[in-house]
Amino acid sequence: MMAKQIMGLWQFECDAVLTRSLFAAAAEVGARCDCAPCRNFRALGPHAFSAPARAILEALGIDPTQASELYPTGVSQAGIVPHAGFFHFVGGSLEGDRESSTEADGFRYFITTHAARVSKTFAPHPVLQLEFETSLPWVLDEPCL
């Protein structure tokens, strides 16, 4: 059931329960790519993000281990690599600043109606996209790029 959410700079409707169940039912959401950055992300598991970032994702029903898209945006420095990506969640009626982002403990994010690469599991539902930038530790025994 859709519920009103106020998060950061936005007000919108979200169905966290349905989003959670879609993530649980859809292994392909986070496992579509086998590139080194995606394998590193999967190796980090739920702790890829800070506790405040995980709380934001949890409030929306998002599984933090299943990004719809993830890519490095810079060069590794001391084993930390800047990344960007996005998650989808069931939602709609987005209001608020569509040009700015907000930050929670190194997790910069914004919410948009412009959803890209929506999986078959989410496609039949109204979807919003949470786009993010953060830095992730590199834990694989191979270079990032």
DSSP per-residue string spanning 63-102: -TT--SEEEE-S--BTTEEEEEEEEEEEEEEEEE-SS--E
Q: E strand or H helix at 51, and its extent?
A: helix 51-60
User: CB of 46 within 8 A of CB of 64?
Assistant: yes
In a domain, residue 113? The reply is: yes
pLDDT tens figures, 49-94: 999 999 999 999 999 999 999 999 988 888 899 999 999 999 999 9
In a domain, residue 142? The reply is: no
User: CB of 44 within 8 A of CB of 120?
Assistant: no
In a domain, residue 87? The reply is: yes
User: CB of 144 within 8 A of CB of 76?
Assistant: yes
In a domain, residue 9? The reply is: yes
Alpha carbon distances (Å) from 45 to 4, 64, 94, 141: 29, 8, 29, 16
In a domain, residue 64? The reply is: yes
pLDDT band at 144 (very low <50, low <70, confident <90, very high): confident
Query: What pTM value is reported for the model?
Result: 0.92
Q: Which residue has the tokens 């950061």?
A: 8
In a domain, residue 126? The reply is: yes
What's the number of domains the chain is made of?
A: 1
In a domain, residue 145? The reply is: no
In a domain, residue 143? The reply is: no
* Residue 34 belongs to domain spanning: 3-137
